[in-house]
Homo-oligomer: A and B are copies of this chain.
Amino acid sequence: MNTRKDSGGATTTPVRRRGATKRAASSGSASERRDHLVKLAAELFARKGFQATTVREIAEEAGILSGSLYHHFDSKETIVDEVLSTFLHDIVGRYRAVLEQGGEPRTILSEMVRIGFGTLEPHRAAITVMQNDWNYLRSLPGGRFDYLVKAEDEVERMWVEQIKRGQAVGQFRPDVDPKLTYRMIRDTIWVTVRWFRPGGRLDTAALAEHYVAVLFDGLATGERTTQRA
Contact = CB atoms under 8 A, between A and B. Distances in A.
A176 interface: yes
A48 B172 CA distance: 38
B219 A172 contact: yes
Nearest to A106: B220
Contact of A175 (B139, B213, B216): B213
- Interface secondary structure of A, over-half rule: helix
Nearest to A172: B219
Contacts of A190: 191
Contacts of A30: none
A176 B213 contact: yes
Interface residues of A, number: 49
A36 interface: no
A23 interface: no
Given A135-B48, A177-B202, A188-B184, A216 B226 contact: yes
A155 B46 CA distance: 25
Interface stretch (A8-16, A72-80, A82-90, A204-212): A204-212
Interface in A49-102: 49, 51-52
A219 B136 CA distance: 34
A135 B131 CA distance: 11
21 contacts: A47-B135, A48-B136, A49-B51, A51-B51, A51-B52, A52-B139, A132-B132, A172-B219, A172-B220, A173-B213, A177-B202, A180-B202, A180-B210, A181-B214, A181-B219, A188-B191, A213-B227, A214-B218, A216-B218, A216-B225, A217-B224
